[in-house]
Structure 1
Amino acid sequence: MHEVKETIFINRLPEEVHLFLMDTDNALLWQSNLVEYELLSEDYRKGSMFRGVNKVAGRKIKWEAEVAEHELGAHALMRSTEAPMPFELEYVFAAIDDGTEMTYHMTVKEFGGFFGKLADPLVVRLYQKDVRSNLEKLKDLLEA
């Protein structure tokens, strides 16, 4: 199993940060490695389906996922339903003073040879760097 976990402090309330993330129009604004993103359900809630395309290590990865858990301002868990590499993505929001400590936690069960076994650790490091940069951009957008 491979995992990427990053935490950032954002000077906004947890509900504000979470609502920003739920808005599909914002997804491409802060995620440089996200090429396409579409909510397939009417709104974002437990059971909602969405799909997208990410670019990782120069390769495009198409996926579909479902919101498995959702508690506004506290927690969201998405789980892939179709992807070359099964994944879970969790956001955790914790109120600290007048801001939010947000944790991004992605686990990928296996790459399945998509990048080649020897490249897996490099791909994880590259993705970790992308996530850190994306969270900094998210912070900048929300605090502007």
Structure 2
Amino acid sequence: MVVVSHTVRVGAPVDEVFAHVDDPENHVEMTPSITAVSNVEPLDNGGKRLDYTYKMVGVSLTGTMETPEYAENNRIVFEMDGDLSGTLTWTFEAVDSATDVTYTAEYDLPGGVLGKVAEPIAVRYNERELRTTLENLRDRLELGR
């Protein structure tokens, strides 16, 4: 299993940051490798179910995401199923008038020799992807104020 995580401080209130991350359409703009989000459905727990397309090192991966854990202004957990399986966890912590946002991705690569060879590349790729996503979130909310 591959696990990558990164935290950034966003100069915006936690409710504003949470609302931005909670809208799946914003992920297409924030996350460089998400190329499409569709069929977004609300869930009874406040979360969502959706289809996504993610491009990793030139390969399009598709699947569905569903939110089994959803705590407004605190935590969103997406379970991924499809070409990639795993968990994406967003946590939000109010710090004065800012918000610390942590984004953690845990996922399995395809098995066998190919998976073992690809793992170091996938880890570096996704570490950069998480940092860029959080920097894009911060820039969008701070520059848009």
* TM-score over 0.5 (shorter chain): yes
Taking a change above 3 Å as real, the CA distance of residues 33 and 115 of structure 1, as seen in their structure-2 partners, is farther
Residue 116 of structure 1, CA deviation:
3.6
Q: Deviations over 1:57-102 (max 9, x none)?
A: 111110101101111110111112x312311000000111111000
- Partner in structure 1 of residue 52 of structure 2: 52
Q: Which residue of 2 aligns with 1:16?
A: 16
Give how far 1:44 is off: 8.7
Partner of 2:98: 99
> Matched residue of 2:41: which SS?
coil
Distance in 1 (alpha carbons) for counterparts of 2:75 and 2:95? 15
| CA 1:96–1:48: 2 relative to 1, 3 Å | same
User: What are structure 2's unaligned runs of at least 5 residues?
Assistant: none
In 2, Cα distance between equivalents of 1:24 and 1:44: 17
Paired positions, count:
143
The RMSD of aligned alpha carbons is: 2.0
| Amino acid in the other structure paired with 1:34 | I
Task: Return 6-15 or 39-48, whichever deviates more.
Answer: 39-48
Q: Please say which of residues 17-26 and 67-76 is displaced more in the overlay.
A: 17-26
Post-superposition shift, 1:25? 3.1
Q: Which ranges of 4 or more aligned residues in structure 1 deviate by more than 6 Å?
A: none
Residue type matched to 1:14 in 2?
V
Output the amino acid matched with 1:108.
Y
Structure 1 partner of 2:29: 29
Aligned equivalents of 1:20 and 1:45: distance in 2?
18
Give the drift of 1:47.
Answer: 5.6
Letter in 1 for 2:91: V
